[in-house]
Each structure stands twice: as structure tokens, then as C-alpha cells.
Amino acid sequence: MATAQLPLHAMEPASQVDSGDMSVPSLFTTGPPIRDALETESSLLQDETIDECLPFLSGQAHDHVNAHGVPRLYRDRHVRFLHKQLGTLPPMFKSADPSRPWIFYWCLAGLTLLGEDVESYRSRLVETVRPMQNETGGFGGGFGQTSHLATTYATVLSLALVGGEDAFEVVDRRSMWKWLCSLKQPDGGFQMAAGGEEDVRGAYCAAVIISLLNIPLSLPPDSPARAAGHTGLLSGLGEWVRRCQTYEGGVSAKPGVEAHGAYVFCALGCLSILDSPHRSVPRYLNVARLASWLSARQYAPEGGFSGRTNKLVDGCYSHWVGGCWPLLEASLKGPGKRPAAQTADRSPSQADDSLFDRNGLIRYILCCGQDLSKRGGLRDKPSKYSDAYHSCYVLSGLSSAQHKWELVEARTDEFALDGDKWIVSPHVKGEQIFDEQDRVCVTHPVYTIPPHKAEACQQYFISKEGF
């Protein structure tokens, strides 16, 4: 592969390239410091990607940049783009009809990250998704479509984002419980749909739905999973996720296939719902190998993440890989309250001790990940068009890089799915290369919605007795 990973700890080379008042580290203005002599189709594509990104990373492709060669976040353009995606879409989107709940989630989540209030969409969302719920439980991609864990996950998160009793009451929790029980497999995992594939997305989506909606965990007597010895929806799930870790250290969709960054996030998110991450993640995964694999996903000179070994950087992995680090750090450090003085100290004088190069990711996002035209939105890389999917996950990754999440109190009972207490603060250690007005809002490291939205949803259903 014609590139080299950034090291596990943040990397700031002493040599820098200056252009007037602009100072950009040479790591982001030249080719990769290490090259593989073997030329392959993958290495040629990587060379093309580097050539494509370098003018943006060096600041030369932007009209206005700050002293670090980083453009501003074009917030207003991105807000307009996401609002437009929630309106009437052109005929070419017919093929995306089964993904409508995802479009709702991507746009609503992206808008909240940009500081927008999305509660005004509540009545429209309720009216739209109610017919997508099947009597047998769960939500399909549209009216009359089969219920699927992915579209159900996206719908539940969308309802949590707009909030309010009207939104929460859309969900038929009894039928949801029955449907989830039917998807639970004898090996501990979940099918994505009745008779469908079983993979780590199912583990994560089911765990999120169960946690946010306070779904009872007990399996009915006729459950095939109960016949295999499982008594609850989450029984054996950690053991199933463990089987998905590969020889490289990453996590695959199912046992025996290639590791992928999005599946690592799903695995860490699932395990962080099963128990506090400092207990559950080391219990089921080899953390050292996982950290090594994740660190290898961050490339130089791009600064962004790839999703698989020998694959290209892509803006969406700003979340799928970048969002893994808060959960991995929590699994390594465990809970611990910070002294009040440290909490209040926002001095950037201390060296950045993060497990990934935050500034490298921020530079990639702001330099390469923004559609700089009037269209707005976020994208995979400069040659790609912006879309709702990338807008959501690029902004989520930016939030992870700009903020520091810490687990300060672990649950006393692993079945208390809302028992962990997290705090979040602006990340200020080391040099800040972006302007403060370009800091986005926070998103929960497990649920990928604002923490107060996740808490409001959980507490509403915890307060309800039975179904």
C-alpha cells in the first residue's frame, strides 16, 4: 500500500511549510513518509487520492484559511443542504425508498450537530413513520415493507431526536419486544430481519433499541434462543461479538470475514450497552490488537480514516472509526472523577495524549470533507458529491475529534442499561487548528445522538410500567 499510518499518538512534525502567514505541517503537504515498493491497483488508487487531497490539505484550494491552513466550517450551507434533503426529493431517489428512515436520521442528526433545533419536524416525522410500523413489530423502510433492524434503529433514533411524548408513543413496545425475540438466534446474535442475515450490525441495532426503549429482556418460552440456553435478549451477545474479532484485531460483520471500521464501532457500541466499557470490552475483545488495527486506519498525508486494510480514506469513517476512540479510551481507563480544577482548566498547554491524531482528522474534514460550493453538505473526499449520509457521519467524527468524553461513573448492575455516567468537554490539549466558532455540538459516543436526547428517551420509557 502506498501510504503509511499515522502513529498511535498524535504526530506533529517539527518541519513545517509556510505560505505567508499560513503554517501547515509538512506531513500534510507531501507524499507519505513510507511507501511500499510493490505497485498494485490499490496503491495507484491511493496515489490518486493523495494527489487529489494535497491541494486541499495544504490550503491552496481554498479561498480563505486560518493561520493553520484550515478553512472555516461552512455551517449555514450545510444546514440548508440538510433541510433540503428533508423536503421533496427528485425522482432519482426512488431507489432509496427503503432507506427513508436513514435519510430522516442522517439529516436530523446532522442538523443537531450544527446546532439546529429539529423539534419542529416532530409532527411530520410522526405522521411519516407511523405507517412504517408493522403489526408484528419493528419498522420497515416504508409502508408495507418488511421490518428491519437497521430501519427500526434509524426510526427510533429519529423519534428520539425530535423528542416529545407524541414521538415516543409511536412505538408499539410490546410488538417490538416480540419481534426482537423472534430475531434472537440460538448462537446469541440477531438477524437483521426475519430469515435475514445475522451480523454485528444486528447486535448493535438491537442493543440500542432495547436500551433506549427499555424493552424487557426476558425471552418467551417458545423462543429458539431460549431452547439453546439463553434466557434474555442480551444473553450470549457478548460471546457472539467476540467471535467477530479477526486475526488483524479489527471486527468483521460475522465470524470469519474481513474486518471493517463500521463493524468495530457496532461491536464497541453493543458491548458498552451490555456493561460498562472498561469491563465489557476487555472481557470480549483483545483491546491491544484492536487499538493497533484502529490506529492503522488513519493515513498520512490525508489525516482521515479508511474503513479496511489497504482501502482509501473516506469521510464517513470519521465517525465509524473516529467514533471508536472514546469507547476504546473508556475501556482502557475505566471510570474516574476528574478533580474540579482539572475540569475547569481549559488551558491548551498540556501535550495531547489522545490515541489518535485529532488535528489530522479535523484537517481532513474541514479541508477535504466539505462541499465548498453553494450546494453545501459533507462528502467522502474532494472528488465526490456531498450527501446526507456523509454529512451526518463526517460531522459526528468532527464532534468526536473536537470533544473529550470520559466515563466518570460505572453502573453497579450490568442490567442497568442507563447506569453509566459520562461527561463531555471541549478537547483543548495541544494546538487547536480550527476556529472556536467552528466547534460542533456533542453526540453520545454510544447512541450517536445528543446525550440529553438519549437520556430523555430512556427516562420516558423507564417511567412507564409494563407495556
Q: What is the 3-state secondary structure (H, E, C) of the chain?
A: CCCEECCCCCCCCCCEEEECCEEEEHHHCCCCCCCCCCCCHHHHHHHHHHHHHHHHHCCCCCCCCCCCCCCCCCHHHHHHHHHHHCCCCCHHHHHHHHHHHHHHHHHHHHHHHCCCCCHHHHHHHHHHHHHHECCCCCECCCCCCCCCHHHHHHHHHHHHHHCCHHHHCCCCHHHHHHHHHHHECCCCCEECCCCCCECHHHHHHHHHHHHHHCCCCECCCCCHHHHCCCCECCCCHHHHHHCCECCCCCEECCCCCCECHHHHHHHHHHHHHHCCHHHHHHHHCCHHHHHHHHHCCEEECCCCEECCCCCCECCCHHHHCCCHHHHHHHHHHCCCCCCHHHHHCCCCCCCCCCCCCHHHHHHHHHHHCECCCCCCCECCCCCCCCCHHHHHHHHHHHHHHHEEEEEEECCCCCCCCCCCEEEEEECCCCCCCCCHHHCCCCCCCCCCCCHHHHHHHHHHHHCCCCC
Contact 416, 291 (CB under 8 A): no
Contact 225, 263 (CB under 8 A): no
Q: What's the CA gap between 89 and 112, in Å, rounded? A: 21
Exposure string over 404-418, b if 16+ CB within 10 A, otherwise e: bbbbeebbeeeeebb
Quickly count: other Cβ atoms within 10 Å of residue 437's Cβ. 8
> Which residues belong to the active site?
260, 308, 311, 314, 316-317, 380, 387, 390
CA 340 to chain centre: 30
